[in-house]
Amino acid sequence: MPHHLADPELRLPPEVRAGVHGAEYDTPLLLPSAAVQAPRPLGLIVNPLSGRDVRRLLGRAGNDTPDAKRNQLERAAIGAAMAGVERILWTPDVFRIAEHALEYLPIDATCERLDLGRPETRPADTLRSVEAMRAAGCGALLVLGGDGTNRLVATAWPDAPIVPLSTGTNNVFPALVEPTLAGAAAGLVAAGRLALAEVAERAKVVRIRCADGAASLALVDAGFLVDDTLGSLLALDPAKLRTLVLARAEPASVGLSPLGGLLEPCGRADDFGVEVLCGAGGRALLAPISPGVYRTALVTQTRRLALGEGVEVKGPGVLACDGDRERMLAPGERAELRVLRDGPWVIDVPRALALAAARGLYQDRPHVHEPDDGGDGPGCC
């Protein structure tokens, strides 16, 4: 069994923390208790703009509409309620996705709005929502969004218990799973019917620290690019990539992850990361950088990175986290990148449902009435 799923009192090895600057990374990480917790609310995080960015227009991906998200959220909320969740917390968005999904659902769970003011359709909306749900004591979060949305969740609540449900463009971190089952898995944990330690593992992340002390993170990939533009929403051009540090190098993915995955695969359970160096004289690698779009990268070196091992980059250039160009490094300015297993607790949907089956958690439950049933169910009323 990997170290991150073993004894609940196990601490990460000292070498994982060694050399990481800042007291917040020097604190030993404890696994959650294996004891089942008291029932707590389930929080819903919805990015109304995920799957609708310019990369989809320039690539060959379809748009993920607000109505599609509403339908996903309906199914997830029903799955959570059937798992035993009594309270579901949500925050408003400009398309009123959560409001419309929850207002007429035939469930016994109470759906509560957290009013955080007028939505701005900016990352701050997600950050405020996550902070509010953490303060409200949510036992799990169901996150509808892509890698970028989940990165914001990890920023606001570093050890959040989450089920990430894919609705973005180039997704590696969120799962492609039926929303009903995603909601059920999140609900089983939030309702206290399964312990988080039994069904979740801590995600790897790429931690970035600049010379001025500024810190950031990526859930999948952190890239250093030259001759690029801060804040650009275009897909990353492999010709501008010089250094790539991957928490997950998945061959069956699109984006930057397959640049490592097609040479040195590294999955979520592997206790290492991958470094890819690119530039003139490298060997040509053809990889899908966006849905339906392939580009060639000139790869000069690929190697495994031990957890906690530092990789230094030096400006001028741009640092990109999960595809988002976030920081411009001035000439001579340095930054250090490390892969650590100190990200959110990701609930494994099949594992949670298998454990629920083994314990009979869905047996001898009351009959569910749908509005159009037209009659009584077995043994009810």
Could you read off the pLDDT of 296-313 as tens digits, one per residue? 999 999 999 999 999 999
131-186: pLDDT as tens digits:
999 999 999 999 999 899 999 999 999 999 999 998 755 689 998 899 999 999 99
Both 284 and 306 in a single domain?
yes
Both 295 and 174 in a single domain?
no
197-240: pLDDT as tens digits:
999 999 999 999 999 999 999 999 999 999 998 878 778 899 99
Both 273 and 151 in a single domain?
no
Question: Is residue 324 a part of any domain in this protein?
Answer: yes
Strands of the 42-46 sheet, one edge to the other: 110-113, 87-90, 42-46, 140-145, 161-166, 345-347, 200-202
| Angle between helices 147-156 and 123-135 in degrees, nearest 10 | 50
CATH number for the domain including 111?
3.40.50
Alpha-carbon span 47 to 353, nearest angstrom: 26
Question: Is residue 197 a part of any domain in this protein?
Answer: yes
First to last CA, the chain: 47
The three-point CA angle 341-150-8 to 5° equals: 35
Question: Is residue 9 a part of any domain in this protein?
Answer: no
Alpha-carbon span 343 to 273, nearest angstrom: 14
Both 251 and 158 in a single domain?
no
Alpha-carbon span 179 to 127, nearest angstrom: 23
Both 224 and 82 in a single domain?
no
Structural domains counted in the chain: 2
Both 322 and 354 in a single domain?
no
Both 118 and 38 in a single domain?
yes
Q: Contact at 8 Å (CB) between 103 and 77?
A: no
Both 102 and 187 in a single domain?
yes
Q: Contact at 8 Å (CB) between 339 and 260?
A: no
Alpha-carbon span 20 to 23, nearest angstrom: 9
CATH number for the domain including 221?
2.60.200.30
Both 255 and 281 in a single domain?
yes
- Among 58-72, 84-98, 175-189, 222-236, the range scoring the smallest mean pLDDT is 58-72
Q: What is the pLDDT of residue 118?
A: 85
Structure confidence at residue 28 as a pLDDT band (50, 70, 90): very low
Question: Is residue 191 a part of any domain in this protein?
Answer: yes
Task: Please list the residues that pair with 285 across neighbouring strands.
Answer: 297
Distances (CA, A) of 156 to 34, 143, 218: 24, 13, 13
Question: Is residue 12 a part of any domain in this protein?
Answer: no
Distances (CA, A) of 9 to 16, 126, 325, 342, 368: 16, 32, 38, 15, 40
Alpha-carbon span 72 to 60, nearest angstrom: 22
Question: Is residue 64 a part of any domain in this protein?
Answer: yes
pTM: 0.86
Provide the 10 A C-beta neighbour count for residue 221: 29
**Beta-strand runs (E) in 178-333:** 200-202, 205-210, 215-218, 221-225, 241-246, 272-290, 293-306, 311-314, 317-321, 324-329
Question: Is residue 15 a part of any domain in this protein?
Answer: no
Instruction: Show the domain range for 152.
Output: 32-202+348-358
Both 48 and 182 in a single domain?
yes
Question: Is residue 299 a part of any domain in this protein?
Answer: yes
Both 281 and 158 in a single domain?
no
Q: Contact at 8 Å (CB) between 63 and 51?
A: yes
Alpha-carbon span 331 to 314, nearest angstrom: 7
- In this predicted structure, the answer to whether residue 363 has a pLDDT above a threshold of 50 is yes
Phi-psi region of 332 (alpha: psi -120 to 50; beta: other; left: phi over 0): left
Q: Which residues contact 349 (CB under 8 A, 6 or more apart)?
A: 163, 175, 177, 181, 182, 184, 185
- In this predicted structure, the answer to whether residue 40 has a pLDDT above a threshold of 70 is yes
Q: What is the pLDDT of residue 196?
A: 97
Closest CA relative to residue 149, chosen from 131, 132, 114, 174: 174
Both 217 and 188 in a single domain?
no
Structure confidence at residue 340 as a pLDDT band (50, 70, 90): very high
